[in-house]
Chain A
Amino acid sequence: MEILKKSQSGSFESSDIIILIEPVEPNSGRNIDIDSSVMLEYGDTIKALITSKLDSYNISDIHLIAKDKGALELTINARLETAIKRACNIQKATMH
């Protein structure tokens, strides 16, 4: 899957995460920045979650910024999926 445009999902509220995505040059790889209020407690799992989500969409070139305020995994997954679908233009809902 290719990142076609900038997208975002989520918010800066506590217990939420905001995901920002932008396209990069082909073959430039994944550039992932994570900032979390629970970095010490969950940093590795957040990173693993993002990596596996990108894998499942076959995305190899991306700049992704995640700013987390203690979101639960299901929230992180939902925000990731929404941002990716928006960025790839495969979002089926009305919002693009």
Chain B
Amino acid sequence: MKNVIGREIPEYINGVGKIDMFVGAWQKLKKGWMDEVTIPPPNKAKLPHQSKICQTLEEAIIKTSPKSGMTVSFHHHLRNGDNILVNSIEILAKMGIKNITLAASSLNEVHNPILKYLKDGTITKIWSSGIRGEIGKAISEGVLDIPVTIHSHGGRVRAIHTGKINLDLAIIAASAADNEGNATGCKGKSAFGSMGYASIDTRYAKQVIVVTDNMVDYPCIPISITQNFVDYVVKIDSIGDASKIATGSTRITKSPIDLRIAKLAANVIEHSGSFKNGFSFQVGAGGASLAVAKYIREKMKTSEIKGSFILGGVTSYGVDMLNEGLFNTIFDVQSFDAAVCSSLIDNSHHIEIPAALYANPFNCGCMTNKLDIVVLGALEIDTNFNVNVITGSDGTIRGASGGHSDTASGATLTVVVCPSFRGRIPIVKTSIHTVVTPGESIDVLVTERGICVNPLKPELEEKLIKAGLNIRKIEDLQIEVESIVGKVQEIEFTDKIVGLIEYRDGTIIDVIRQVKHHG
């Protein structure tokens, strides 16, 4: 059947069960409580001065008595430098554990080596906010029988709370830890900043292993992960490749198209009505999205506007704005560069937050609900403003849902910035492969060829027109783009469903189908 945004989704899917259809961004939440119950986290017991130290990761994993059919979780704060996920899965595979559900908060190219364990039945189910590299491609080609579930960062917390993801073992990489398992990501040779996504795993997993390459004297300060949730602690030589975990400080793009888009987006923000004293702000970490911060920074200085907080994935650019007094506070769920770590330690207004506080829809109010302005990217956007950030133009999985739908739904002004086409691939289209964020959450699209306001926001459109901005219909933009790049050949899919896109409230907003093999 078709759901409320017209996506064709079966009512029942083998290996998943009955499908709870997406009904609108706030439809399920607006009654003020949730019917889903929170499952109890496990009770544990340790004797005084009982050692948690294990000599090897293998020893620690053996002590947790892993079993076939288990769910094992990892965080993705080490990004493309992560050694821990692949090593752990290899250990489990060597022990003959099969039928594992992998609940990694995100999967990157660095995890390509686990592909063989998807093929041999070691891993049979995946929950993640994003999948890139060979794994995404293989899943799109149908390597797994059970479809993967793509959740948002906030949705992951909800899924763990409600027991949809039932964690047996969480393996938590930390750049510093003590012998009780107090741990942080802010110190050490492999420092990566905030551990926001790992927090929920430690509270709910039946067994928790902290792995570090930097064992420090008790207590490890700052404490991001606390000892009362940690079963075992392991010191290894290296948790990952520091050069790929986090490097230096993030630079603003030099791409003329991205800069033009960013400048237009900053003009939109300036005249939106949301750009005023006390506003809160979130931008992505790269490309046009981060470049918007550059222009907003200038506009804040010239108009003498001071903001409240910066949210989300944090770069050194955000830290600079905090240090200049442009914002009061940074709430940091994930840090994108090494320069952020010292700020997290030294600046009391730079605060590490767990994913639950960041974006979980099932609580008394996550911080994305408090956002005034968010600037997001898109792989594709359709003329109803629905956004795809998970599948590429060839229909295969290669992106991440991340906090896209969380922030888009919460913010007063949600701006999507993207070129209208990239290397002949149209971005603005009549129909897109996959919907991650519904159009109702998107207020305005900014491209190098003009600005399109969602018809659901006529007052915003009026304000922007009054400010003299080039506002045009998204349908016209789409036609113009197609006249430049030509009509794209239809990508062929089979009926097999390889992925579910879970909206933040747990309903299914879309499905990903298997791409037909091209020989």
| Residue interface bits B469-486, CB-to-A below 8 A is 1, else 0 | 000000000000000111
B31 lies within 8 A of chain A by Cβ? no
Asked whether B424 lies within 8 Å of A38 as measured between CB atoms, the reply is yes
How near does chain A come to B394, taking the closest CB pair, in angstroms?
A: 5
Residue of B422, B486, B491 with most partner-chain A CB within 10 A = B486
**Chain A window 13-54, contacts with chain B (Cβ cutoff 8 Å), 1 for yes, 0 for no:** 011000000000000000000000110111111000000000
Contact present for B488 and A41 (CB under 8 Å) = yes
On whether the beta carbons of B423 and A14 are closer than 8 Å, the reply is yes
Q: How far is the CA of A15 from the CA of B488 in the complex (A)?
A: 16
Max chain A C-beta neighbours (<10 A), residue from B424, B485, B518: B424
CA distance A45 to B518 in the complex (A): 17
Q: What distance in Å separates the Cβ of A34 from its nearest Cβ neighbour in chain B?
A: 14
Complex CA distance for A71 and B394, rounded to whole angstroms:
17
What's the nearest-Cβ distance from chain B to residue A50, in Å?
Answer: 14
Looking at the complex, which one of B423, B485, B489 makes contact with A40 (CB distance below 8 Å)? B489
**Pair A70/B423 contact, Cβ less than 8 Å:** yes
Is B393 an interface residue, CB under 8 A from the partner? Answer: yes
Say whether B425 faces chain A, with CB atoms less than 8 Å apart.
yes
| Cβ-defined contact, B489 with A45, below 8 A | yes
Complex contact B424–A15 (CB within 8 A): yes
A43 contacts B425, C-beta separation under 8 Å: no
Evaluate whether A70 and B425 lie within 8 angstroms (CB atoms) in the complex, with A40-B394, A41-B393, A41-B394 already known.
yes
B371-413 contact mask (Cβ, 8 Å, vs A): 1 or 0 = 0000000000000000000000110000000000000000000
In the assembled complex, how far is the CB of residue A51 from the closest CB belonging to chain B, in whole angstroms? 16
Task: Report whether over half of chain B's contact residues are helix, strand or loop; otherwise say mixed.
Answer: loop
Q: Chain A residues with Cβ under 8 A from B489's Cβ?
A: 40-45
Asked, given contacts A38-B423, A40-B491, whether A72 binds B485 with beta carbons under 8 Å apart, the answer is yes
Is A55's CB within 8 Å of the partner chain B?
no
Task: List residues of chain A with CB within 8 A of the CB of B488.
Answer: 41-42
Smallest distance from the beta carbon of B449 to chain A beta carbons, Å?
14
Chain A contact-residue range equals 10 to 19
* Cα–Cα distance between A45 and B489 once the two chains are bound (Å): 9
**Residues on the B chain within 8 Å of A40, using CB:** 393-394, 489, 491, 518
The residues in B between 415 and 451 inclusive whose CB is less than 8 angstroms from any CB of A are: 422-425
Residue ID in chain B nearest A49 by CB atoms: B486
CB distance from A11 to the nearest CB of B (A): 14
Q: How far is the CA of A37 from the CA of B424 in the complex (A)?
A: 10
- A69 interface residue, CB < 8 Å from B? yes
A41 contacts B518, C-beta separation under 8 Å? no
Residues 174-225 of B at the A interface (beta carbon under 8 Å): none
Contact B486 A38 (CB under 8 A): no
> Which residue of chain A has its CB nearest to the CB of B492?
A40
Q: How far is the CB of A53 from chain B (nearest CB, A)?
A: 15
| Alpha-carbon separation in the docked complex, A44 to B491 (Å) | 12
Are B423 and A37 in contact, with the CB atoms below 8 A? yes
Given B393, B394, B486, B491, which contacts A73 in the complex, CB threshold below 8 Å? B486
Q: A40-B393, A41-B491 are in contact. List 16 more A-B contacts (CB 8 A).
A: A14-B423, A15-B424, A40-B394, A41-B393, A41-B425, A41-B489, A42-B424, A42-B489, A45-B489, A69-B423, A70-B422, A70-B423, A70-B424, A71-B424, A72-B424, A72-B486
In the A-B complex, the 4 residue pairs with the smallest Cβ-Cβ separation, listed nearest first, are A70-B423, A70-B424, A41-B488, A40-B394
Q: Which residues of A contact B (CB under 8 A)?
A: 14-15, 37-38, 40-45, 69-73
Q: Can you offer 7 A-B residue contacts whose CB atoms are under 8 A?
A: A38-B393, A38-B424, A40-B518, A41-B425, A42-B489, A44-B489, A45-B487
